[in-house]
Structure 1
C-alpha cells in the first residue's frame, strides 16, 4: 500500500511540473447526483483562462472517476452537481491521497449538494474542517481582484456566497464555493440568460481559482 501511495504521489508531482500538465478534469462521483451538470461551463472557463491568463489547458476537459488512478494525472479537478454525493472507501482513500500529494479540487455547489457533500468530506478528511476563506486570501487577488470575496452569481436561497476550504500544512487543497454557483455563470449565455457583467465576474473568479491552483 505504501509503495502504491508513493507511486501515485510521484505521478501527481510529475504531472504538476510537466509542461503539459495544465489540464482540468471533471470528477465523476456516485450517489445519483448529476456530476455531469453544466456541460458548457468548463469549456467556456478554459477558453477564458487560455485567453486571459496565458494557460494552455486542453479545451475539452476530461472526466475521471473518484477511485481511478488516473486522478493523479490532473493537477486540477472540478466537481459540481445538485444532489446526493457518495464516496466508497476506496474512493475516500484515493481522493485523500490525491489531495495530500499536491492535487487540487474545486467543488462548485450547483444547489442542493451541501448536506451530502459535507457528510462525504468528513470521510475524506475526518481530521479537518471546512474553513471560510477571508477576503484577503490570495485566491481573490490573482489577475482579477475581488476585494469583497466570492461574487454572488445566482440567488439560490438568498444567502451570502461563501468560499470554504480544507488546508494541509497551510496549502489550500480543496475549495468549496457555496451559495454562489460559479458554474452557471460559466455556461453559454443562452442557458441562464445571465447579464454579461455577471458572467464576466464568474469567469474572472474561475480563472483566479485556476491560476491559484496551478501556482500552489
Structure 2
C-alpha cells in the first residue's frame, strides 16, 4: 500500500510559525483527494526543524510574519534536507518583499545555500503545469489585488534548485492566507483557488 501523504508544518525557534494558516493544510489535503488518487493523512503534522524526524517526509511548509533566524541545528537540518531531495514550500504571510519575514528568511537562505541560490522561477517551470495549467505563472491572491501589503502584484515566485530540481519554493504572495478557509466554502468560489496548491504538493511528490 502506498504511504499516505502527510502535510508537515515546520516549527522553528524564532518567529510565529504557529500563528498562521490554521485551516489551509486541511483545505489543500481536501483538494488533493478531490482531484487526484494520492492517499493522504487527514491531519497536518508539526515537525521541529531541528528534529531528525524531518527526514522522513518529502514535503514541508514554513511560514510566519516575523523574524526567521535559524539555530545552528535548524540551519544544518534545513540545508541537508533540501540537498537530500526534500521540498520546502515557504510562504510570507506579510505578502510583501521587504518585511521582516522576507528579509530574514532570504538572509537565512544565503547562509544555507550561498548568495545567488534564491532565484526567480520562470513561467515555463514544470510546477506551473504539474497537474493544472498556469501559463501566466503563479496565480494572484486576493491580498495582492486588494492592495494589501506592498501594493504590488508579484508575477513570479523564487526558488532554490538542487541538481536541476526545485528544493525550496518561496512565495511573497501569501498563499497560506488565501487558502486559509474551510474547504466546504470552495463551492462559493467561481474558480477553486487551491488548484495551484495541488500543483505544489504533486511536484514535491514527483
For the aligned pair, the TM-score class normalised by the smaller chain equals 0.7 to 0.9
**Alignment partner of 1:39: what SS?**
coil
**Alignment partner of 1:83: what SS?**
coil
Contact 1:21–1:75 (CA under 8 A) maintained in structure 2: no
**Alignment partner of 2:41: what SS?**
coil
TM normalised by structure 2 equals 0.86
Alignment match, 2:157: 163
Asked if residue 37 in structure 1 is aligned to residue 20 in structure 2, the reply is yes
Alignment match, 2:59: 76
Q: Which runs of 4+ in 1 moved over 3 A?
A: none
Higher helix fraction: Structure 1 or Structure 2?
1
Alignment root-mean-square deviation, CA: 2.0
Alignment match, 2:91: 108
Contact 1:29–1:35 (CA under 8 A) maintained in structure 2: no
Asked if residue 57 in structure 1 is aligned to residue 56 in structure 2, the reply is no
Asked if residue 144 in structure 1 is aligned to residue 132 in structure 2, the reply is yes
Find the aligned partners of 2:19 and 2:41 in 1 and give their Cα distance: 18
Find the aligned partners of 2:111 and 2:160 in 1 and give their Cα distance: 13
Q: How many residues align?
A: 192
The CA deviation at 1:126 is 2.3
TM normalised by structure 1 equals 0.82
Deviations 1:84-140 (A, max 9, x none): 111111111111111111110000111141011111112221264211111111101
Stretches of structure 2 lacking an aligned partner (at least 5 in a row): none
Stretches of structure 1 lacking an aligned partner (at least 5 in a row): 1-17
Within 5 A, what are the aligned runs for 1:2-41? 19-20=2-3, 22-41=5-24
Give the one of 200, 207, 210 matched to 2:198: 207
Find the aligned partners of 1:95 and 1:23 in 2 and give their Cα distance: 18
